[in-house]
């Protein structure tokens, strides 16, 4: 049976929306994970200290934290998809220009990249909640898998790309702008639907954020759960290459080992949201995420052979579970897309400021102590705090944005 023109158009725009979600998700990690393996290649050329290198991966997190509160308000004026389109254009520019010159342009391009990724971080959970209300777990899983699969790929192939004849670290860093450019094309094709009055998806925000959310124990648990589950991976993205080289691996092996760490994320980020969506309480998953982090990091700290792969995958499973739970908490602890965006904005603003201390702080501690033992202790302590916060954030309750009470389902 042939589809009517209206039905065909609806399916066409739905297909473009799914493709846009996949492509935008692919841009949210790869521009950052591609940097870590390349650090040994450009640190000497740019004459950058460990503190400056830590700043390169700290700046996106600071941008996430400082820019996130403004994203819902911008989206309330333009609509989610138009805001995401602008963000993907800015991301393409930031990723491309950051490797064009010296350390100053690298930092400026990284700042633009962080601001653009912040838009995707904030709006994607709300977009999924608004457009796929009955498939939130599945679509959050698809979104998370795309993000982490491309993040792993970027880690693994950045050094091999830089080793190609006629290429260097600059091209290996710039090549990831093709993902955001592809997202721009898809969002432009969806522009008629995005501008349509009956299809436009907004995040409506009040003139002032709800005061009740700042008095909610669960909201603060979600916020610090979000911050610490980002603190660990972004610290690892920055310093695992140096840690692996100190253990006797070369630069190429270090890049692939980071990719293997992220392999653990991929199935977990698909399965965990689906499980969470079917469970009445997510306390077991939230607590397990922190414990998986802890035992994985413990093994990485004390292993120098290829057995380290097992512990990297275990760490990745913890990271994937923690990230998925953070994304699901935004929708499971709220009642609407507006509330989801407000909780997401609070959690990602404060949370990423917490996370931003990781790369710079741990690099400085490593320099002061002459090794990675103390940084690993800090990371494992953060893992145990994640487990505790997961028990609070995973409670079968929703945050009330109208009163100071937390209303049970």
For position 393, what pLDDT does the model report? 93
pLDDT at 406: 40
Other CB atoms within 10 A of residue 1 CB? 3
Encode the chain in three state secondary structure.
CCCCHHHHHHHHHHHHHHHHHHHHHHHCCHHHHCCHHHHHHHCCCCCCCHHHHHHHHHHHHHHHHHHHHHHHHHHHHHCHHHHHHHHHHHHHHHHHHCCCCCHHHHHHHHHHHHHHHHHHHHHHHHHHHHHCCCCHHHHHHHHHHHHHHHHHHHHHHHHHHHCCCCCCHHHHHHCCHHHHHHHHHHHHHCHHHHHCCCCCCCCCCCCCCCCHHHHCHHHHHHHHHHHHHHHHHHHHHHHHHHHHHHCCCCHHHHHHHHHHHHHCHHHHHHHHHHHHHHCCCCHHHHHHHHHHHHHHHHHHHHCCCCCHHHHHHHHHHHHHHHHHHHHHHHHHCCCCHHHHHHHHHHHHHHHHHHHHHHHHHHHHHHHHHCCCHHHHHHHHHHHHHHHHHHHHHCCCEEECCCCCCEEEC
In whole angstroms, what separates CA 288 from the centre of its chain? 20
Nearest to 123 by CA among 57, 49, 201, 61: 201
Please check whether residue 238 is in contact with residue 57, taking contact to mean a CB–CB distance below 8 angstroms.
yes
Give the pLDDT score at 177. 92
Q: What is the CATH number of domain 12-408?
A: 1.20.1250.20
Whole-number pLDDT of residue 140: 77
- The series of mean pLDDT values per 10 residues for the chain, 409 residues long, is 73 89 92 84 76 78 82 84 94 91 86 92 80 76 84 85 87 92 95 68 52 84 94 88 88 83 80 85 94 96 91 93 88 78 81 87 87 94 97 87 47
Q: How many CA atoms lie within 13 A of 298 on its CB side?
A: 10
Please tell me the predicted confidence (pLDDT) of residue 402.
61
**Within a 10 A sphere around the Cβ of 405, how many other Cβ atoms?**
11
**Distance between CA atoms of 60 and 64, rounded to whole angstroms?**
6
pLDDT tens digits for 271-315?
888 888 888 899 999 999 999 999 999 999 999 888 999 999 999
pTM to 2 decimal places: 0.77
Domain ranges (residues) in the chain: 12-408
């Amino acid at each position: 049976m042939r589809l009517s023109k209206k039905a065909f158009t609806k399916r066409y725009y739905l297909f473009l929306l799914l493709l846009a979600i996949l492509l935008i998700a692919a841009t949210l990690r790869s521009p950052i994970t591609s940097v870590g393996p390349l650090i040994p290649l450009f640190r000497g050329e740019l004459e950058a200290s460990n503190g400056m290198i830590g700043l390169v991966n700290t700046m996106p997190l600071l941008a996430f934290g400082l820019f996130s509160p403004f994203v819902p308000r911008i989206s309330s004026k333009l609509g989610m998809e138009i805001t995401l389109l602008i963000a993907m254009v800015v991301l393409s520019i930031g990723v491309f220009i950051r490797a064009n010159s010296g350390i100053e342009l690298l930092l400026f391009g990284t700042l633009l990249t962080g601001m653009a990724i912040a838009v995707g971080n904030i709006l994607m959970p709300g977009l999924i909640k608004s457009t796929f209300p009955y498939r939130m777990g599945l679509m959050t899983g698809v979104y998370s898998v795309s993000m982490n699969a491309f993040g792993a790929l970027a880690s693994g192939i950045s050094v091999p790309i830089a080793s190609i004849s006629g290429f260097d670290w600059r091209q290996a860093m710039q090549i990831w702008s093709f993902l955001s450019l592809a997202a721009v094309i898809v969002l432009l094709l969806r522009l008629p639907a995005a501008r349509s009055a009956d299809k436009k998806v907004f995040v409506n925000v009040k003139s002032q954020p709800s005061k009740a959310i700042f008095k909610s124990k669960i909201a603060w648990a979600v916020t610090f759960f979000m911050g610490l589950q980002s603190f660990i991976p972004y610290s690892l993205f920055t310093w695992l290459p140096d840690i692996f080289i100190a253990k006797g691996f070369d630069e190429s092996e270090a890049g692939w080992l980071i990719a293997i760490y992220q392999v653990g994320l991929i199935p977990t980020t698909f399965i965990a949201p689906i499980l969470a969506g079917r469970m009445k309480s997510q306390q077991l998953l939230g607590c397990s995420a922190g414990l998986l982090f802890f035992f994985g990091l413990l093994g990485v700290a004390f292993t120098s052979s290829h057995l380290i792969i097992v512990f990297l995958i275990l760490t990745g499973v913890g990271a994937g579970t923690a990230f998925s739970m953070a994304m699901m908490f935004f929708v499971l602890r709220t009642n609407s897309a507006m509330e989801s965006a407000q909780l997401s904005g609070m959690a990602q603003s404060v949370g990423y400021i917490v996370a931003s201390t990781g790369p710079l702080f741990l690099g400085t501690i490593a320099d002061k102590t002459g090794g990675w033992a103390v940084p690993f202790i800090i990371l494992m302590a953060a893992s145990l705090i994640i487990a505790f916060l997961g028990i609070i954030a995973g409670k079968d309750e929703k945050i009330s944005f109208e009163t100071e009470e937390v209303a049970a389902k």
